[in-house]
Amino acid sequence: MSFKTDLLHDNQVHQKLWGDYKSIAATHTSPIYQTTTFILDDFDSAVYLNQHVDQGFVYSRFGGPSSDELERKVAHLEHAEAALALASGLGAISTAALSCLKAGDHVVFGDVIYGCTFTLFAKVLTNFGVTYTRVDTTDPQNVADAIQPNTTLVYVETPANPTLKISDIEAIAKIVHEHEGMKLIVDSTFASPYLQNPIDLGADMVVHSATKYLCGHGTATAGMIAGRKELIDRCRMPFMQCFGAVLGPFEAWLVMQGMKTLAARMDVTCANAMKVAKFLENHPKIDRVYYPGLESHPTHAIAKKQMHNGFGGMMSADIKGGMDAVRKVMNNVKVFSLATSLGNVDSLIQHSPSMSHFDMSPEERYASEIYDGQVRLSIGIEDADDLIADLDQALALI
């Protein structure tokens, strides 16, 4: 069954671990189980389920029917044994990372990653005895060279935010798995399961900010982790249990409704993004365009090998004239909305240095090619010609 049909018709994801729904009438839209507490049959089952929360529902902080269905759907799309739904993308990232790290451990991560993920590794976990090394993960040898005796985690974001670097997941996975116990986590938010499946390429876990492409409509904040069941069980207990980054049932339902159109949205988004990227690449007021679908992109060949169905809807561009030019463009776009998120059906624009990556020093940003004149574009499903015309009229004001 194709990905597009799976999104709407795979009945396996509607099954519970502890039974089936044959006695319940099928519904076109999944119900919302808006409750915090589940009534248990008897003392023995109550004791058992409280100690085996992956076998049923006890309390919504451990999971519920709505999040369970979402988890099964994402696990299916990512070709993973299991998945875990959380309250945000950072909830997913921090939970997955903490399940692999303890005091005294070392983590290797990319020189270009989401700003708050950088803060987690470089400014939060260091307070608890975790050390790190940042490397350019587009060269797998850099990862191999950075591994230390106490390295337990390699974390890769591909495509990377905001310069769209592409890292070879399969090559990095082979390096990681030469070391017993070491794990590879891949943030695949920019790609979504429609464009890339890191588990198939050897990643131990894949994380998503489901707020973005999985939901697609800017209506819910959510995160996902997918991987082997033993790893997901460890993420759920004790980490989600103790840190409480639980996804609410209504948000789970909203993400599932958005996922129904994931493939259709991504097809249009990818086609639009390619047209916009080519336009910007030839514009006299643009220094550089960062889009993996362009042959000029340094890691285009890896993207072509690793991604399928397209190159995504995200790109960045360096505008000539620095911050003053950025301010002029962002204050004058009419179709693009100025917003820090991404992956919506409508197109968004942000200034990465002062918004998503403001917590990095100028030196750290410049080393990662995040320059003062750089804007990040999230391309939506509008008419591509309207998006191009909007950017053209705003750039003309510089």
Domain ranges of the chain: 3-259, 262-395
Average pLDDT over residues 137-159: 98
pLDDT above 80: residue 204: yes
pLDDT for the residue 135 = 97
Q: Cα–Cα distance between 171 and 165 in angstroms, integer?
A: 15
- Asked whether residue 22 carries a pLDDT value surpassing 50, the answer given is no
- So what's the pLDDT on residue 18? 38
Q: What per-residue confidence (pLDDT) applies to 129?
A: 98
What pLDDT, on the 0 to 100 scale, is given for residue 256? 96
Average pLDDT, integer, range 11-30: 51
Exposed / middle / buried, residue 320 (Cβ in 10 Å: 0-12, 13-18, 19+) = middle
pTM: 0.94
Give me the mean pLDDT over the 334-355 stretch.
94
| Mean pLDDT in residue range 99-112 | 97
- What pLDDT, on a 0 to 100 scale, did the predictor assign at position 354? 85
pLDDT score at 7: 83
Rounded mean pLDDT of 234-243?
Answer: 93
Are residues 395 and 319 in contact, defined by beta-carbon separation less than 8 angstroms?
yes
- Write out the catalytic residue numbers: 61, 114, 187, 212
pLDDT at position 17 is: 39
In DSSP notation, 201-214 reads GT-SEEEEETTTTT
Stretch (H or E) spanning 265: helix 262-281
For 109-145, letters b (16+ CB in 10 Å) and e give bbbbbbbbbbbbbbeebeeeebebbbbbbbebebbbe
Residues facing residue 183 across a β-bridge: 153
Q: Quote the pLDDT of residue 132.
A: 98
* Overall average pLDDT of the 100-104 stretch: 98
Confidence of residue 56 (pLDDT cuts 50, 70, 90): confident
pLDDT confidence band for 307 (50 / 70 / 90) = very high
CATH node for 262-395 = 3.90.1150.10
Q: How confident is the model at residue 26 (pLDDT cuts 50, 70, 90)?
A: low
pLDDT exceeds 50 at position 118: yes
> What's the residue count for the chain?
398
Q: State the residue for tokens 């693009």.
A: 336
Segment 326-335 shows an average pLDDT of 97
pLDDT digits (tens, 9 = 90+) for 240-298: 989 999 999 999 999 999 999 999 999 999 999 999 999 999 999 999 999 999 999 99
CB of 252 closer than 8 Å to CB of 35: no
28: pLDDT strictly greater than 80: no
Sheet holding 348-350, edge to edge: 286-290, 314-319, 374-378, 348-350, 337-338
Write down the mean pLDDT value for the chain.
93
- The mean-pLDDT minimum among 58-67, 71-80, 226-235 falls in 58-67
CA 374, distance to chain mean position in Å, is: 21
pLDDT at 16 over 80: no
**Residue in the structure block whose two tokens are 């495509």:** 159
Percent of the chain with pLDDT over 90: 82
Helix (H, G, I), strand (E, B) or coil at 275: helix
Strand order in the sheet with 106-110: 82-86, 223-227, 205-209, 183-187, 151-157, 106-110, 131-135
Better-scored residue on pLDDT, 240 or 15: 240
| Mean pLDDT computed over 5-21 | 56
Q: What is the pLDDT confidence band of residue 329, given thresholds at 50, 70 and 90?
A: very high
Residue 193 host element (H or E): helix 192-195
Q: In terms of pLDDT, which residue wins out, 128 or 364?
A: 128
* Partners of 364 in beta bridges: none
What are phi and psi for residue 132, nearest 5 degrees? Answer: -150, 160
Out of 3.40.50.720, 2.40.50.140, 3.10.20.30, 3.40.640.10, the CATH code matching 3-259 is 3.40.640.10
Which distant-in-sequence residues (6+ apart) come within 8 Å of 77 by Cβ?
3, 6, 7, 193, 194
CA distance 162 to 243: 28
Question: How far is it, in rounded angstroms, from Cα 267 to Cα 263?
Answer: 6
DSSP letter at 178 equals T
Q: How many percent of the chain have pLDDT more than 70?
A: 95
pLDDT score for 371: 85
Which residues 6+ apart lie within 8 Å of 365 measured at CB? 353, 357, 371
